[in-house]
Copies of this chain bind each other. A is one copy, B any other.
Amino acid sequence: MDEAEDRSRLLQRYAAVRRRSLEIAAPLGAEDQAVQSMPDASPTKWHLAHQSWFFETLVLQPLDAAYRVHDERWARLFNSYYEALGPRHPRPQRGLLTRPSLAEVHAYREAVDQALARFVDRAGSDAARRAAPLIELGIQHEQQHQELMLTDILHLMSLNPMRPAVLAGAPPAAPDAPPSNWIRHAGGLVEVGHAGPGFAFDNETPRHTVLLQPHALASRLVSNAEYAQFVDDGGYDRVDLWLSEGWALRQAQGWSAPPYWLADGCEFTLHGVQPRDPARAVRHLSFFEAAAYAQWAGARLPTEFEWEAAVAGVQPPPDAYGEVWQWTRSSYDPYPRFVAAPGAVGEYNGKFMVGQLVLRGSSCATPRGHERVSYRNFFPPAARWQFSGLRLARDL
């Protein structure tokens, strides 16, 4: 494949992913896209601008001498957390940015898209070679924010007493949940982490060897029906099932079921209030709830490497991706010999490696093709607004 074809493919992929962000936002009004429901979430409009800021700041500004910054005042507004790139508008105040308007953000996206297309077309070989991994990083970054756009807007709508539907119609039906089997693993040394040559985030590297204990993994995720048994059995009232910090949260915030569960077997979704499908994977669990369920079920959560070994194995479980992110019992620690890159790119993952847990797989909100066997998603144990559930494991 020659270089021109490479460039063309990259641009096609870029354009497709960029288009997808706008498709996700399309059912939302300007007001829906402006408001921030909690400090952890961001307005849709902010996501749309931040995605563009990423390409502008990490690709166009350093590599395209001809590029003129769209609006210099915006760097401060749409920088998420990159200390190396200057001061930032406080995260909890993203929802105050009624200006720039959504129309101005759309124009920003178009300007960046045109500049990036022109740059990729015209850049010399050397600049193009240096740009390609950064553009790929920007694409992956945009996909991550596509998932956040969905989880954040769901959270916002859940706080509206009218429970509005963002998406028309009913969600696609899930097939019946098959019986759950145990996928056994004899333990021993296995290789984990990104094996190349495609894209991976730095936190998936270096590939290295780990030692697994003999264990078994459930062949599918815990379903709504199963989780309802835990709820009905008083799982939220049995302190012996809970980690100490989780129990304190459950008490302080009055948890008694997953956050979007409603009475009468319904739940709140992007399609508004819907009957809760018993066969579908339970979702919007915190790590604490996932761990308590596993305790109740006489099992445990898998480690991230048990998960990776199973999914990389000969017969990977059929529901590894596309349902819900799966909490693991692994703290989000750096891999051996992990070193963050210098500069802003190095802030992408490394500086968050404490106090969080690894989730594996992908969810119904993850863009197709974004998933990967070595992918390490991570969230604090109390996070509930993501599409997060669990798969059981046990010792052999």
Contact = CB atoms under 8 A, between A and B. Distances in A.
Contact of A355 (B95, B162, B245, B329): B245
B337 A245 contact: no
Nearest to A337: B395
Q: How many copies does the complex hold?
A: 4
Contact of A96 (B35, B244, B353): B35
A325 interface: no
A269 B336 CA distance: 37
A37 interface: yes
B336 A31 contact: no
A328 B279 CA distance: 43
Interface centre among A35, A89, A210 (most CB of B within 10 A): A35
Contacts of A256: none
Interface string A155-166: 011011110100
Interface in A84-101: 84, 89, 93, 95-101
A96 B189 contact: no
A351 B34 contact: no
A272 B233 CA distance: 43
Contact of A160 (B99, B210, B355): B99
A161 B78 CA distance: 12
Interface string A204-221: 000011110100000000
B354 A76 contact: no
A244 B73 contact: no
Interface of A: 29-35, 37, 45, 73, 76-77, 81, 83-84, 89, 93, 95-102, 156-157, 159-162, 164, 189, 208-211, 213, 239-240, 242-247, 287, 291, 329-331, 333-334, 336-337, 347, 351-355, 357, 381, 395
16 contacts: A31-B34, A31-B98, A31-B102, A73-B162, A81-B244, A83-B239, A96-B156, A98-B156, A98-B160, A99-B162, A243-B352, A244-B351, A244-B352, A331-B333, A331-B354, A355-B355
